[in-house]
Structure 1
């Protein structure tokens, strides 16, 4: 069989890929061996900065199919007809761990989907929990620093984590979920996903609704206990990648059903909680799940780096008919995610294969910059600015978003601790978790804050006391007894609930 000729990156044939050019058999290497220089220089540049958050991840490609009519809520073309389809790309990840971290650690999991629609790419960038630790992005960098390494010891610091959480009472809801059975999913195929934030949709008549996106796992919900995870990590640190890749390779395609919760725009002023607070869920009895479509992941990327490591998900990628909300965390992420990609991947990151639109035609006036490897002169090189008389693309007023019916004075509104921060975690603890689940929660929490100083423990126990006295007492008893041994977690029947969805 005739093989292709090896070439340099400029296309020149390479005479040898085994030995350097030297001055004699024992002589020094020649600087003119440009093929050696190219090979070493490229190796030095093979790595790109890892994500500051969500560094360790796993991805797959697939298809989204619309199964239910939601045109009364949105004019987005992807939802214009039952049966519409588009390609999708997903990346699941841990939040705190570095690129080489073990997959089966107790952590929140990222859950991001890119929909390649005919009107451009729509990204839903969320987690496997319906809420988050903080509700104001001003505290997000501080929170992430507590999840990373201590500047002196270079070790993870439970002291920092619980010290921060104790000062941010709204975090107790998410910490309770994190320390519950759902804190260590068996793999990405056995967990739910959420857009987490409140978004908006508007219909053809300009009517707006607030929405929450839910990706309901069509496989069983399965989780590991601390002990099971520790044993697994001892044998493999890549359990998620192995499970996901092998399942798809063997034709066992994981599926999720996209559902939405819907709230009329005006009702946001009438509910007894802030619907734009990322630390709160919307009760299902008031805002039931509405099925929309099915996601099936049926393809492993041919090149992981190209399609998963280079994947750049951002809430700023939206399409006509889907918009933002006053959610403060969402507003900040609209900027910070795209900015992180420009730093990590480069100015033209959205032209990379993982991020380039598939079904929509690109027309923009972005100019030059590093790695400008494409042209966009629209058939006329004089049309490089706007407005122009040379037939360049122009804005389309028909896709304008209707105005928000929310107003207020510009200010830095201080967060005030109220019982509202404890209502939903209290319901989760007392009404959703059964006795066995509460017992495992107590032990998981005690194991997590075991290394903390006593003052930090007391500060956190005081927060748990405000949720429910039994919560604080159970964690304190488990800590004092050193009882952090959790048995195997039963497979969940996954009955939908308000506080843990």
Structure 2
């Protein structure tokens, strides 16, 4: 079988791919060696800026299958019929570390899912935790700066991590989750995924509901202790990527069952917790889980860069029947995620195969820009309205309108009857077994004891004590013991 001809990027055949052109034998290189210059110039540009957060990731294709009727809550077409399947792409990731970081670290995990629906792509951007550290997007850059490498030392600093948390009491719930047994998943297959934010569903009758998404792993929850994780990182820093890739390659397709909590929109105002606060959960006793369907991953990407690194998820990619809620963190991410992709990948990133719709065709008036590949013909106008049968609006809102009132300005989140920064963290602590509490305390103390300032340590201990007296007392004792060694 004859080999294919190697060519330059313009399609010209390459005569020699082993030797650069020189001025005589052993002489200096020639600027006219187009093939050499093209290869070096392309090599210099092979990498795009990594994500500021969620840089280290893995991905897979699969499908979502509806198993239960939810048409009473949403008119979304891809959820409209039991048995209906929709192609999906998922990206798992760590949050704080860079692209070269290890997988088995104590960190939340991104759980970003793209549904290629007939009404356009629907992106659900969540984590493996149902809550988060903060509830207002204006604090997000500061939070991430505190968790990333210090500008001077070039490494993550306990002083920065815990100093920010000392000034963010609302983080106590997520810290309790992260420092607990589920803080280091054994693999991406063995963790749950959550939409985390509150979203809105709207049915055909125009009735609005607020929902939270829960993807429960069908492989069972498996996590690593700090010692197990350190050993695994030493053996295979790419452990989660290795596990996901090999499982799918051998036909062991991971799956999750999707459940939702559903709150009639009229109940939100008087609910005991602010239902739009990302640092809070809705107790299942109040709003039980209702099964929706099954997510199955059955195909690995052919090229990690093209399909995982260039995958762009934006929570503002909604479809009819699904929309946003007043969740402030979600509202901020509606802008920030898409803007990050425009910076990293360019304004035409939605034309890349992994991001483009698969079950429908995107039709709009976006033109030009870097890497524009779909500018239309001479008959396609670039403005609207027009008299040339160009795409036109439907006049059908994707979701129900949200009522607003009051004065513009900077406001703290509204307080509900049970709202504080510590109640749910205390509830989580009291649900733990004695062994789980012991490991939680050890994990917190291991980091907090490295902080140089006593006032920062005391502020954090006060947060744990406010959640539960025993919690705070045990953290204080553990930190003291470590600092006295």
TM-score, normalised via structure 2 length: 0.97
Q: Report if the CA contact (8 A) 1:364-1:376 is conserved.
A: no
Q: Deviations over 1:111-136 (max 9, x none)?
A: 11000000000000000000000000
Structure 2 distance, partners of 1:221, 1:446, is: 25
The CA deviation at 1:246 is: 0.6
Pairing 1:81–2:78 present: no
Structure 1 distance, partners of 2:114, 2:96, is: 22
Structure 2 distance, partners of 1:13, 1:364, is: 39
Q: 1:397 aligns to what SS in structure 2?
A: coil
Matched residue, 1:383: 381
Structure 2 distance, partners of 1:246, 1:90, is: 16
Closer, same or farther: CA 157–258 of 1 in aligned 2, 3 Å? same
Structure 2 distance, partners of 1:350, 1:281, is: 33
Structure 1 distance, partners of 2:398, 2:473, is: 54
Matched residue, 2:477: 477
Matched residue, 1:437: 436
After superposition, residues 64-463 of structure 1 pair within 5 angstroms as: 64-377=64-377, 381-414=379-412, 420-430=420-430, 432-453=431-452, 454-463=454-463
Matched residue, 1:494: none
Q: 2:425 aligns to what SS in structure 1?
A: helix
Structure 2 distance, partners of 1:281, 1:388, is: 48
The CA deviation at 1:220 is: 1.4
Matched residue, 1:499: none
Structure 1 distance, partners of 2:128, 2:244, is: 16
Q: Report if the CA contact (8 A) 1:383-1:391 is conserved.
A: no
Structure 2 distance, partners of 1:343, 1:131, is: 28
The CA deviation at 1:32 is: 0.7
The CA deviation at 1:163 is: 1.0
Structure 2 distance, partners of 1:120, 1:196, is: 22
Q: Report if the CA contact (8 A) 2:322-2:398 is conserved.
A: no
The CA deviation at 1:324 is: 0.2
Structure 1 distance, partners of 2:368, 2:311, is: 22
Count of aligned positions: 480
Q: Deviations over 1:357-382 (max 9, x none)?
A: 000111010010111122334xx524
Q: Deviations over 1:421-458 (max 9, x none)?
A: 1111111111x101110011000101121210222111
Q: 1:58 aligns to what SS in structure 2?
A: strand
Closer, same or farther: CA 416–291 of 1 in aligned 2, 3 Å? closer
Q: Deviations over 1:5-58 (max 9, x none)?
A: 001111111111101111111111111110100000000000000000000011
The CA deviation at 1:481 is: 2.6
Q: Report if the CA contact (8 A) 1:112-1:125 is conserved.
A: yes
Q: Report if the CA contact (8 A) 1:301-1:307 is conserved.
A: yes
The CA deviation at 1:415 is: 5.8
Structure 2 distance, partners of 1:183, 1:21, is: 55
Structure 1 distance, partners of 2:412, 2:76, is: 36
The CA deviation at 1:413 is: 1.0
The CA deviation at 1:398 is: 2.7
Q: What are the ranges of 5 or more consecutive residues in structure 1 without an aligned counterpart?
A: 484-501
Q: Report if the CA contact (8 A) 1:348-1:372 is conserved.
A: yes
RMSD, matched Cα: 1.4
Q: Report if the CA contact (8 A) 1:57-1:91 is conserved.
A: yes
Q: 2:319 aligns to what SS in structure 1?
A: coil
Q: Deviations over 1:196-253 (max 9, x none)?
A: 0000010001100001111111111011111111111111211011111111111110
The CA deviation at 1:167 is: 1.0
